[in-house]
Amino acid sequence: MNMEELQYGRRNFFLALLLLCYRLLYTTDIKPLSGTYPVRKPEIPYEKSRNNQRYHRNPLPVHSGIFSRPLSGAGRGCRHFIVSPPAEGNWGLSFREDGKPPVANASFEELAKYNAFYAENTQEKVLYLTFDCGFENGNTPAILDALKKHNVKATFFIVGNYLETSPDLVKRMLDEGHIVGNHSYHHPDMSQMDKEAFTKELGELETLYEQTFGQPMQKFYRPPQGKYSANNLQIASDLGYKTFFWSLAYVDWEQDNQPTHEEAFNKLLKRVHPGAIVLLHNTSKTNGEILDELLTKWEEMGYSFRSLTQLPGVENN
């Protein structure tokens, strides 16, 4: 075999390898678990994907030189993986059995190293309600009304724009006993930020919050877009933050394609499980309309509600 034939053979080998990788990456049909918000103001660089649908996107991650395994049952436009120690990229869940905790990117023990949580490891029927607040579109008052009626204390993770434009609603959250957490100022992908940039992004919202309410912000953090890395989990912990992912969510953030009440109940009642941290979006018209009934249905199933401050491991750190 001469040199030209050898080079030709090598080229064909690498082309075949690239084709194989492409098929592995893009032929699995999976579904998104949480989205980003639509761009309301230019200062908030929310990510948008094709057809205005919002998905977390990340390349196939490599951890310690080994490709991670994709989760089954997830959908189009994103990929979720299981890696140990905690996977880096997008938070993802695989729901394999109704009423049971999903398989997540990382275990309780792995996340605990970083003061991070996604659920309570328990058989007790308790739930922890959380809301991500990117902007206000009129649904939050109904959400607060339903929480007050059921005496449920939730956590609202806000961004800078929300506090700037809706300080009255944030004050109501506080006055009614809810926690207000840090979802970053501008809602960027913080997974690859260095410590200086990461600290600045959280610190700007802390400063605005303290200037507005005259008290320090609760150091509860939810990664924007669900994107994270072991490094920024460590940075958050070093800054005194507890990081909160979730174990129950559904596609509720698409403003022009809101789920019906039946679709929402179908997801949230079947997938609820003991110890769940529930993620809902305040921007969802459906959530505002169904929350009172949803809380009633969960109560009828035997569930009670607790604040994230009562989550085991949180109060002891």
Q: What is the per-residue pLDDT across 265-297, written as a single tens digit (0 to 9) for each?
A: 999 999 999 999 999 999 999 999 999 999 999
Dihedral sign (CA 307, 262, 272, 236):
negative
**pLDDT category of residue 56 using cuts at 50, 70 and 90:** very low
Residue 132 annotated among the catalytic residues of the structure: yes
Selecting among 132, 183, 187, 189, the annotated active-site residue is: 132
Provide the mean pLDDT of the chain: 81
Distances in Å between the alpha carbon of 175 and those of 144, 168, 170?
Answer: 11, 10, 9
Whether 189 sits among the annotated catalytic residues: the reply is no
Q: Could you give the CA distance from residue 100 to residue 92 in angstroms, rounded to a whole number?
A: 16
Share of the chain above pLDDT 90, in %: 69
Reply yes or no on whether the pLDDT at 1 is more than 80: no
C-alpha 89/C-alpha 80 separation (Å) is 8
For the stretch 176-208, pLDDT in tens is 999 999 999 999 999 999 999 999 999 999 999
Residue 81 in contact with residue 70, Cβ under 8 Å? yes
Q: Is the pTM of this model over 0.85?
A: no
Identify the active-site residue in 80, 178, 187, 281: 281
Give the model confidence (pLDDT) of 97-131 as tens digits.
999 999 998 999 999 999 999 999 999 999 999 99
Strands, DSSP E only, in the chain? 62-63, 66-67, 69-70, 81-82, 89-90, 93-94, 103-104, 116-117, 126-133, 155-158, 179-182, 220-221, 227-228, 242-244, 276-281, 304-305
pLDDT > 60? residue 70: no
Distant-in-sequence, close-in-space partners of 55: CB < 8 Å, separation ≥ 6: 32, 35, 49, 76, 77, 78
